[in-house]
């Protein structure tokens, strides 16, 4: 099973050095969060069910700009957006930006996307909140087509445009991994290349994995253990251990977050503290 290092609401000035530490330690990649503008007050509920663990003062550097910087500063480390909120955008610039990123750093970017939960942010940026899942589905189809077709014409519920081209094209296929645990999100994930889960208690993790396996089997598109790898990423709310990770792998999980330190734990603000935490985690779980 692969391990990704979370880098969410941390000092942006340390990003490159932390990425290099993660690469040297054996992490598969770095996971970058996405918010554009956070209202001081909002009623939307965080997917964890509790209060949002951040506010308008929290750092959320643009994940695509950050991904480009990290990929250019490392040799093998991958980067994923965890997750890029598609309904905050339109498909034309997204297709161009992500294709450019892959063209310059081929094969090392994983496009993790979601419908978003902070509805006030989506409305703030001028996009419709209602129907954002269907709008996201249209965006995914349009983006995929722009990456592979010279001309794209589209007539849908949310987007309607004549033959149009977006260039450059990416260097190769870009994996799209979909976040969320609703039935719609799971269906959206199995139609793409992978599923991104969040922090869930183990019984819920097990139930979601079983549900996902059924949907994959029903679709007849991908076997999680087959040659065409379908990424299954989830973060269990459990103490890290070899037994835990072996059990998850046996249930089809291909990757998880290597939590070298707890979210927002300011004991790890400094680079030296981060390096010690990364090296300690690596010595336990990445040395095999």
Helix axis angle, 15-25 to 271-285, nearest 10°: 20
**Residue 288 — very low, low, confident or very high, per pLDDT cuts 50/70/90?**
low
Q: What is the pLDDT of residues 138-173, one digit of tens each?
A: 999 999 999 999 999 999 999 999 999 999 999 999
Give, in degrees to the nearest 5, the angle at Cα 186 between 182 and 189. Answer: 140
- pLDDT for 16 equals 98
pLDDT in tens, 107-141: 999 999 999 999 999 999 999 999 999 999 999 99
- Residue 187, pLDDT > 70, answer yes
pTM, to two decimals: 0.95
pLDDT, tens digit (0-9, with 9 covering 90-100), for 24-77: 999 999 999 999 999 999 999 988 777 889 999 999 999 999 999 999 999 999
Q: Identify the structural domains of the chain with CATH numbers, from first to last.
A: 2-285 (3.20.20.30)
How many CA within 13 A on the CB side of residue 183?
Answer: 0
What is the reported pLDDT for 222? 57
């Amino acid at each position: 099973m692969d391990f990704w290092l979370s880098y969410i609401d941390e000092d942006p000035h340390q990003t490159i050095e932390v990425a290099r530490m993660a690469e040297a330690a054996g992490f598969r990649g770095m996971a970058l969060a996405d918010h554009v503008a956070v209202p001081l007050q909002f009623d939307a509920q965080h997917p964890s069910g509790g209060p949002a663990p951040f506010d308008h003062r929290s750092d959320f550097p643009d994940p695509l700009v950050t991904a480009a910087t990290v990929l250019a500063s490392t040799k093998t480390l991958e980067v994923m957006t965890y997750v890029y909120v598609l309904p905050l955008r339109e498909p034309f610039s997204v297709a161009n930006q992500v294709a450019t990123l892959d063209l310059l750093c081929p094969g090392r970017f994983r496009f993790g996307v979601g419908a978003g939960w902070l509805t006030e942010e989506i409305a703030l940026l001028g996009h419709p909140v209602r129907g954002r899942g269907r709008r996201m589905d249209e965006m995914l189809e349009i983006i995929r087509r722009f990456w592979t077709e010279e001309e794209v014409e589209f007539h849908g519920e949310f987007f309607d445009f004549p033959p149009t081209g977006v260039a450059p094209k990416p260097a190769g296929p870009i994996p799209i991994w979909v976040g969320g645990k609703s039935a719609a999100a799971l269906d959206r994930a199995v139609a793409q290349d992978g599923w991104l889960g969040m922090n869930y208690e183990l019984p819920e993790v097990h139930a979601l994995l079983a549900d996902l396996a059924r949907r994959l089997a029903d679709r007849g598109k991908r076997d999680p253990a087959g040659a065409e790898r379908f990424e299954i990423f989830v973060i269990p709310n459990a103490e890290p251990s070899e037994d835990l990770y072996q059990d998850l792998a046996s249930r089809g999980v291909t990757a998880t977050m290597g939590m070298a330190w707890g979210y927002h734990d300011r004991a790890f603000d400094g680079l030296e503290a981060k390096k010690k935490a990364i090296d300690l985690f690596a010595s336990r779980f990445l040395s095999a």
